[in-house]
Amino acid sequence: MSGKIERYRAHAYPVPETMLAWQMTGAGFENVGERGAAVRVKTPRPRPHELLCRVDAVGLCFSDVKLILAGNNHPRIKGRDLKKNPTRGGHELSLTVAEVGEAERATYKVGERYIIQSDIYCKGRGMAFGYVFPGGMSEYTIIPEEALHGDEGSYLIPLREGGLSYAEAALVEPWACVEAAYRIRARTSPREGGRALVVGPAGRPPFEGLERSGEVKTLESPDPDAIAALARTGGAGERVEALFTDPSEQAGFDDIVLAGPAAASRPVVEAALGALRRGGILCLLGRGEFPHEVTVDVGRVHYQDIRIVAGDTIPLAYAANTRQDLLPGGAVHMSGAAGPMGQMHVQRAVEHDRPPRLVAVSDLADDRLAYTVGRVERLARSRGVEIVSLNPKRFPGPREFEEALVRTTGGRGFDDVVLCAPVGALVASAVRQAAEGCVVNIFAGVALGTTAVLDLDAIAKKRVRIVGSSGSRLADMQYVASRAESGHLATGVSAGAIGGCAQMLEGLIALKEGRFPGKIVIYPAVASFPLTAVGEIASRLPRVGALLGPGGVWTKQAEEAFLEETLPARA
């Protein structure tokens, strides 16, 4: 390791007076930076309970693109005047402490390395880093007091000295989002102390399993308007008009039981789904014919944890099909999985301690499909995992594509379907592809209000479980970081292109356009380096290219050589 790299790692040089930053002052790429370039601003200094950290690497995420396109209307910063109070994206970060506020000097030291969980909660309030707090699209960034002393303690995760490369560390965050999708814990009974509604025919409704609910209302007549009216009434009898603008409020139900097909017509089901609170469950009882076409807001499944369960009794329905991970030895379809995050799902499935026997990968781009399969096929063969790829555009229509998919399973259907594209129709397709006991995982960020027409009868009879997750929590990142540092997970394999600070905006546009199949990693301390696919780095820096791993993978050695050649002299 050269002296320059050693000084850089330790931050053994003064903090510069100014830094480059990609400030965001409104909606649209034209409002990121100034005339397409980073802005030079005064380097901030930490207050007593803050840190100033150097941003060593930042992975670009489609969430950053969504923030830029939405601007002031993004839900995490809604109402903020970005012209007066700019923010910065960037939450997939590798950080080095550059300066420590005086009140934190017993805990943090200059030169220490960290990653950050961006979903910060302090006093019950969510304040996301890279949204509310300016993120890492700059040479340096402030880690605020709320991140150091939040509801879960510190949201910084320390890294072992000499361990992960900067790119490997930055890519822990997106990998944690992937891991979180397989750590979704099912609620296996009606919510204790919650609010429940039973809709059923005349006679005693099925109360078994609802004994611990705080309030149980009954509705013998399956009337959609009556369901909506009951939902708008809070627990104390007051009217709560905010129900359908914020379902997480007091109004609505934690559990709604539809007692048999007679209580589960399409209008009733749709009214019941709309009457659920955040985290609510719709329980279908019985084995008769349920409606085949029900309009479901699958965005609520993804972002607000709405679930549908089915069974002969309430306890059986809630306990059915509660597994969290892929079925060992099963068949999984990764839909829209040739993008950067989808590739992580495929890699995880193949590398799993108990992998599926079949991984079917679909996407609309043949070149990206080939890239995705090529990264894992050798390992898959060695582990007895069959990899198949299909492009929907190569079939006359969606049904022919679905039939071809199911044929890969020998006709039985898939045990798991992971949706990596934010398209509501894919959820309906997943139900049709499902084997009994299938888990459909809505991973991509399907917006609230995105609907799909689902076959409720198929969901009930096949006991399909539909889940969704958004982002990750601190424990997920800690778990992934430990696996990466122990050598059990190669996060750096996901790097598809690299660039310098001046290429930040180009990288974001390239991400939106899908120009690179892997993750784009920017090194803000490198003033400028052309945005370059990892596999093509040898054309610009032959010595760096010679240090890539098998298959042209970005390695710690290649990164060190890259920084040696591109970092400014001060480092």
**79 vs 12 pLDDT, higher one:** 12
Asked if 388 and 372 touch (Cβ cutoff 8 Å), the reply is no
- The pLDDT, as a whole number, for residue 247 is 40
pLDDT at 248 over 80: no
Dist CA 228 CA 225 (whole Å): 5
Dist CA 453 CA 429 (whole Å): 10
Domain boundaries, the chain: 3-181+475-566, 195-319, 331-447
Dist CA 24 CA 144 (whole Å): 19
pLDDT at 238 over 50: no
Q: What CATH number has the domain spanning 3-181+475-566?
A: 3.90.180.10
Directed axis angle between helix 172-180 and helix 474-485, to 10°?
A: 120
User: In the predicted model, what is the mean pLDDT of residues 138-144?
Assistant: 98
- The pLDDT, as a whole number, for residue 203 is 56
User: In the predicted model, what is the mean pLDDT of residues 159-174?
Assistant: 95
Dist CA 112 CA 438 (whole Å): 45
- The pLDDT, as a whole number, for residue 1 is 63
- 3-181+475-566 and 331-447, same CATH topology: no
pLDDT at 249 over 60: no
pLDDT at 480 over 70: yes
pLDDT more than 90, % of the chain:
82
In this structure, what token pair is assigned to residue 553?
A: 């993978």
Strand pairing partners for 296?
452
Helices (H), 217-337: 224-231, 266-274, 298-304, 314-319
Dist CA 236 CA 432 (whole Å): 42
Asked if 136 and 93 touch (Cβ cutoff 8 Å), the reply is yes
Per-residue confidence band for 411, with pLDDT thresholds at 50, 70 and 90: very high
Per-residue confidence band for 382, with pLDDT thresholds at 50, 70 and 90: very high
Asked if 15 and 43 touch (Cβ cutoff 8 Å), the reply is yes
* Mean pLDDT, all residues of the chain: 92
- The pLDDT, as a whole number, for residue 522 is 98
44-56 exposure pattern, b = at least 16 Cβ within 10 A, e = fewer: bebeebbbbbbbb
In this structure, what token pair is assigned to residue 116?
A: 């950050």
Query: pTM higher than 0.85 for the full model?
Result: yes
What is the DSSP secondary structure assignment for residue 502, as one 8-state letter? G
Dist CA 172 CA 178 (whole Å): 10
Q: What CATH number has the domain spanning 195-319?
A: 3.40.50.720
Per-residue confidence band for 569, with pLDDT thresholds at 50, 70 and 90: confident
Per-residue confidence band for 246, with pLDDT thresholds at 50, 70 and 90: very low
Per-residue confidence band for 234, with pLDDT thresholds at 50, 70 and 90: low
pLDDT at 241 over 80: no
In this structure, what token pair is assigned to residue 32?
A: 């990121």
pLDDT at 237 over 60: no
pLDDT at 239 over 70: no
pLDDT single digits (tens) 250-293: 579 999 999 888 888 999 999 999 999 999 999 999 877 899 99
Q: What CATH number has the domain spanning 331-447?
A: 3.40.50.720
**Which of 75-84, 348-357, 384-393, 555-564 shows the lowest mean pLDDT across its residues?**
75-84
In this structure, what token pair is assigned to residue 109?
A: 């030291």
**77 vs 172 pLDDT, higher one:** 172
- The pLDDT, as a whole number, for residue 73 is 87
User: In the predicted model, what is the mean pLDDT of residues 522-531?
Assistant: 98
DSSP states of 276-291: EEEEEEEEEESSS---
**Which of 39-48, 227-236, 316-325 shows the lowest mean pLDDT across its residues?**
227-236
- The pLDDT, as a whole number, for residue 49 is 98
User: In the predicted model, what is the mean pLDDT of residues 171-186?
Assistant: 95
